[in-house]
Amino acid sequence: MKILMVLTSHDQLGDSGEKTGFWLEEFAAPYYVFKDAGAEITLASPKGGQPPLDPKSSDPLAQTAATERFNADVEARAALANTLTLDDVRAENYDALFYPGGHGPLWDLAVDPRSAALIERFLALGKPVGAVCHAPAVLRNVRGGDGQPLVEGRQVTGFSNSEEAAVGLTDVVPFLVEDMLTANGGHYSCAADWQSHVAVDGLLVTGQNPASSEASAEAMLKLLGH
């Protein structure tokens, strides 16, 4: 079982002067769900190399067993420091595709044609695609086989408008994940703020927030028959 995880390369939080990137827990929790299931994991990002870590995700209050395991995992840290570029990966070489969140994907992966093409190819080959928290932003320009937005008519979730308001970034982000999914015809659902919620529709798995990262990865494994 080979799983491709794609992280953001974007590190600027709009014009706020603050840094962003990927959210550590949303990478670490799925990474170990997959690894402990015996998966061979490949990491990639738009630019390759070390993806930027959202500094807020290193806050002591944001740590979990998975993040602590990652911080002590020399092999995993080395893999993260040397991600492939999106030009280096092909859907044919993997069994599933997963995107961790953080605010970074709103700026780069959401508009990267290579990412959109990769998602379309995975699904065309009958392989599952997952994204958690802000990462469902990567579905923004993805089309289904009928040429319509991929999420049209599908059950989806992602970071909610109320959660974005709670972290004070509604006016900083380029778009709101909930609004984008709804505008593209998705049947958006969510749990209460910060509660785990996962939507599965066919081969598409989306998770609402950091609390949903492990459950999103587990839903992916179920689709893989594990």
* Token duo for residue 204: 């598409």
Phi, psi dihedral angles at 201 (to 5 degrees): -135, 105
Structural contact between residues 24 and 66, judged by C-beta atoms closer than 8 angstroms: no
How many CA within 13 A on the CB side of residue 23?
Answer: 25
Coil vs helix vs strand at 9:
coil
Dist. CA 138–CA 106, nearest whole Å: 7
Please write the tens of the pLDDT for every residue from 72-114. 999 999 999 999 999 999 999 999 999 999 999 999 999 999 9
Structural contact between residues 154 and 123, judged by C-beta atoms closer than 8 angstroms: no
Please write the tens of the pLDDT for every residue from 49-72. 999 999 999 999 899 999 999 999
The answer, as to whether pTM is greater than 0.75, is yes
**Amino acid (one-letter) located at 144:** G
Superfamily of domain 2-223: Class I glutamine amidotransferase (GATase) domain (3.40.50.880)
